[in-house]
Each structure stands twice: as C-alpha cells, then as structure tokens.
Chains A and B, each alone.
Chain A
Amino acid sequence: METSGHGGGIAVADPRPQPPRTRPPTTPDYDDDIVRLFFNATVLWGVVGMLVGVLIALQLAWPAANGGVPWLTFGRLRPLHTNAVIFAFTGNICFTGIYYSMQRLLKTRMWNDTMSQLHFWGWQSIIVAAVITLPLGMTQAKEYAELIWPIDVLIAMVWIVFAINFFMTIARRKVQHIYVAIWFYISFVITIPVLHIVNSLALPATLARSYPAYAGLTDGLVQWWYGHNAVGFFLTTPLLGLMYYFLPRAAERPVYSYRLSIIHFWALVFLYIWAGPHHLLYSALPDWSQTLGMVFSIMLLAPSWGGMLNGLLTLRGAWDKVRTDAVLKFMVVAVSFYGMATFEGPMMSIRAVNGLAHYTNWVIGHVHSGALGWVGMLTFGVLYWLAPRLWNRPLAKPNWPTTHFWLATIGIVLYTVSMWAAGLMEGLMWRAVDDMGQLRYPNFTEIVNQLMPFYWMRLAGGVLYLAGAIMMAWNFILTARGGVNREPSGDVSLPTQERAHV
C-alpha cells in the first residue's frame, strides 16, 4: 500500500505520538466563515427536508393529514421533500465539506470570497424559491428536476460562479499534487451542470411553465440519464470526496489504498453515466438501451465497493475508536450503507428483479438506505467532526451524538425493513394470478390497504430519524451560541479528548 505518499492533505498519518502541531507561519488564512454558513444551512434544510418527508409519509398512512389544503397535498410536497433533501441538505453539506477541505488540501484560501458568498446566497435563494414554487404546483414534473425554468437558469448561473471559484482555487494551490478528495469534487463540479442543462432544455410558455425539448420516451431517457446521475454525481461522488478527507482525519489514519482509489474513481465516473436506462426497463425504450443500462448497473458494483472497501479498510488499526467516537460510528455506518445500497441497486437493475421491484415501495426503501444511511449518516459524522473546529470549542452536549446515532440507526432499519416488506408484498399481489388465469387481487385499493401497517412503521422510522436530526441541530445551536471562540487554541485541530465522543 502506498499510503503516506498519497497527496499532501492528510497530515495525521502516523499513530505514534507527535509534537503539537502549531500553525506554521506560512499557513494561509482560510475562509471559514463560508464553511460556517454552509454548515448552518445544511442543518436547517436537513431538518426542513426530513420534516416534509415525515409529513408525506404520514399522509400515506392517514390521507387527511393534508388538511384539505392544496399546497399540502402529497403530489406537491413529495417534490419539495426530494428537492430539499437532495439539493438543500446534501448540496449544502457537499459545499460545507468542499470549502473546508479544499482550502486545507490545497493550502490556499478560496480564490474569491465574493464568489463564495454569491455561491452561498445564490444557492439558498434557489432553495427558498423551490420552497415557494413547488407547493404552489409550479413544476416541470421531471423527478429531481421539477424546478421551473427561471430557477433552472439561476441554478446554472450560481454553479458557474462556484465552478470558476473552485478551479481558480485549485489553480492557485500551494501543493503540487491534488488529493483524491479533490478528484471527486472535480467530477461533481463538471458533471452536474452537464446533466442539469441537457435535461432542463425547454421552451417557456409562461414564466412558470415550460415544455421540454424532448418528448415521450426520449424525454424519459434524458430524464433518467439525469436522474440516475444526480444520484451518482450529487449523492455519491462529492460525498466520496468528503469520505476521503474526513474519514482519515477522524480516524487519524491514512487512506488504505492509493491504487484502489485511482481505479475506483475512474471506473465510477465512466460507468455511472450508462446506468440511467435501468429506470425504464420493460418500457418501449429500445432493447439495446435497456440492456446497456442493466449491464452497466451491474458493473457499477465493482467501483462502488472499491470505494466502500477503501473507506472501511482505512479504519484498520483504529476500530477501537469506533466504540467510543460518535463521529466514526456515523461514518462507519454510512460507508456500510453505501456498500449495501450499491449492492442492492445493481441487483434491482436485473430485468427479472426489476419486473418485481419497479413501481413498488422497494424502490423507496432502496433510495432511503442510500439517502438516510449513506448521505445522512456521513453528513452527521462530518458535521459533528466540524462543529468543534468551526466554533473552536467542544460540543455543548458531547454525549448527544451517540443518542442521535442510535435514533438514526434504528430509524433507518425500521424504514428500510418496512419498505422492503411493503414493496415485495405489493409487487407480488399486483402480479398474482389464480388458476383460472384471472387476477387474484383485481381491486387495487385492496392491495393499498394491505400496506397500511408498513406505512405506519415507515413513519415511525422517519420520526426517529428526524428526532435525531433535531437533537443534532439543538446541540449545534448550544455549541455555536456566543459566536466563534476567537481564543487561539494553538492547534489546527482540537485534541481528541475535546472531540465529540462518549
């Protein structure tokens, strides 16, 4: 294993006692104000997005929960939930982690503070616009691309600001080689605008309504090329970048394998793009296209597990810390769920399995094992690691993260198990045929009503997960009260015993 030769970023490689690391006089003055802004936004929108999720989960179990109000109906809030957790919660944690880690990895301040601020406020205004327009029913009806065209234009403009600032910062780096986390960030910064612009091409009819440049199955293919790669390049690659920075920092171990990171990076960015048609299996999309989607989805297992293994094996020799350090607990469970979700995904892409799973709650369970398990848990781990460093004081409630961890973990288990069961059940009931060749359950609502216990169970899981997130938010509010502690700590990172741990 070539370990410490891996980039210039991970300083804490040697487990042996080391002299206290003080800031060398040449260390640039990093912009951590922008990191704190994105940090706060992550926490805020995370709670909001999960709250909307809990509400619509309740509506499936108890339809009257929309109160008869048009803008609280499931059809309008479901896009708000998905957009909030993807672009607001996940987006903001990606930016939090990128702004924190890239300055340190490249040993330079962000190129332009104004552009950083423009990026932050632009992104938040996009989210606020989404919170207003989606409940009003202003939508393009393409999943995770529902936002109306003026907001789409704003997204593209804000992203360009971010990309220029990002690449200029890299150009002005004080280290020669870029670390693996930065590779993943680069793929994120490049791919998202490509997906967003191609999928959003549309002709406006009014300010709030437009019709896509593509029609029918072509529109469907473009959408799922976008949709699947939004998962790939918004929910996976930037977070793998965060994993490559924050997991070794938290574990105080170097990344397990440099070669593995090269192979799985290039394989991942190349293979991911092909997998979109697995969302359209058994459609009238050409067979060769469906087959490509299926085959590449299965191949995707290899680079995905490459990333998982590289993450988990980074903990070799540090597993005792997982027992005591809540940050590592979150990260280990996150990487494990990444492995599980990326095993389940290829399996569900197999035509025969997809025939059963497609359109059912199984897909919802799959998505949430990735979203709650991988994205959510990694985010919580990163946030708990960052908070004491960003405010320069220990967490106000150092024991709460462990409670949060268990609430979240039990919540995910309830969620995924109930959705697997519900998905299998409805999938099998939809296709059940009796000896006479007739449908065994011709009445659709009969099947729907069989799912009720699972919908309640899923709601319970979601409530536990949300409760943990609220606990975290409260902890951060208490920690950040009084603003940033400007007392010099004499050290870039806080000593271990001041970190959040039990």
Chain B
Amino acid sequence: MLRNYILRRLLQGLFLLMGVTFITFILIYVLPSDPARMIAGRSASAQAVEQIREQLGLNLPLWEQYLRYLWRLLHGDLGRSYIQRVDVSMLIDARLWPTMQLMFASIGFELVIGLTAGVLAALRPRSTLDQGVMFMTFIGVSSPQFVVGIVLLYVFSMKLGWFPMGGYGNWDNIILPALSLGFLGSGWYSRVMRSEMMDALRQDYIRTARAKGAGPIRVILIHALRNAILPVITMIGMDIGYFMSGVVVVESVFGWPGIGQLMWQAIQNVDAPVIMGVTLVAAAAIIIGSLLADILALFVDPRIRLR
C-alpha cells in the first residue's frame, strides 16, 4: 500500500518533469523567431550564430529537436552560457550550496516567527495580540520581497550598522536576507498554526490532559502542539522547493551568490541558456519539494496512511 503510493507519486513527479522540459523546450526553441540568435546573445557574430544553429540541429523537425534536447538534458547538458563561456550545469552547481544555506536559514526564521506568533494568537483569540498577528500576515502577503529587503538593509545595516550591507562568507551575512524571506513567509505559518492550534485545544484529549493535572505549558507544548504541527511539516516540504527554485529578488538585493543571483545576472545579459537552465532546475525543485512534502506527511501522520 504505502510503497505503491510512494511509487505512484514518484511516477507522477517524473511525468510532470517531462512536461516541464517540454515547456522549457518551447520557450527556447519554438517561441523566439530566431532561437540560435537568442541563445548566442545579442552581440554574437553571425558566424557564432551559424555554429549554434548547426550544433543544436535547429533545421531539423521539431520533434527531433525535442528528442535531442531531452538527450542532452539526460546527460546533464543544460547548454553553454555565451557570456561566461562555461557549461550552465557547472554555473548552477557552484550556486547550489549558498542557496541551500539561505533556504535553511529562511525556513528557520519562518518557523521561529510563524509558530511563535501562531501559538500566541491561538491562546488568546480576538485579543490585540491576535489581531496584531493577523495584520502582520496581511503585510507579509502584500509586501514585495525587494521592498522588505531594502528596508531591512536601510534600518539594520545603514542606520544601526548591526549587519553588513550584503555579501557572503561570514555568519552575519546571512541574517538579513534570511530574515527578509523568513518574515514574509512566516505569515502563512502563523495563520495555519493559529487555526490548527485552536482546533487542537478544543479536543477531548486536551481536556483529559488538563484533568489529569498537566500544567498549561505541558498541555500546550506537548499535547496540543504535537498535533497542530502536522500541516506545518507539509509546508516545510513546499518551502524547500520554493527556496531552492531560486529567490531571485532577495539574492540580488543582498548580493548572495546563489541560483537566484545567477538568474538575475543572466537577465541583465539576456543570457538565454542560463535563464532556461535555471527555470528548468526551479521547476524540478518545486516538483521534488511537493513530493517530499507528501512523503514526509505520510511518515509523520499515520492517519493519512489509512486513507
């Protein structure tokens, strides 16, 4: 049962991934009026453009081009950047670790801010604190990442001088970019946490625990939180996909050398192979993330397995 379910989800993910390659194929090879020119970039010589046309078989029928494209992808070949003259896969590879660091730190902030706010709001529904938390979640979903990033930079590094203006390498470089993402994402966590926690606190087993003389902290942290936290696990899985797909804005504001910054630099140079390579990796990350979310939920919550 369980194995079948996981296998089926894996297969679904694989099909989705195939579909994704089809879309990126259309974006590079079908939509542009002259794909070779676009891949080579605006400043390339006629000779270079001709060479690309030859090399990628752009005069072949579309289905054959697509098969060749898939074949190249299977061999880890995402094309070559015509600005930096390196393989796109190598460029992305070098950026994976910084993006992963930022992901862990951001999810950490999301959990700390979101769960604390959500639990506190659930304990005192309709209080000023609860309404404050709800208002912050509205601000969170309404603020573009670049505005929050720039405001944090202004307050914490220019005015207060607590953190560096950006960059990478020291432990304090990661705080502001992770805080920007963590603050914006925490709204979802606090909303879900609040409603789950309110549900959990209404259950019979909470009354039983209280009747048995468990203190309020024990009731909240051990009995209620354990049950309320389940949907949060799924959200973390989704977030892993989202953050690994490249946070273009925050990475470019803070000069964080991750996948998002690579994308931003590629936009500035209209470096098509890099843009499409990142797009493909991003979609793959989202698919893997949601797969991870489903499988994680399966192991954490035995009730799902019964369905």
**A, B bound:** no
Residues of A within 8 A of B (CB): none
- Chain B residues with a Cβ under 8 A of chain A: none
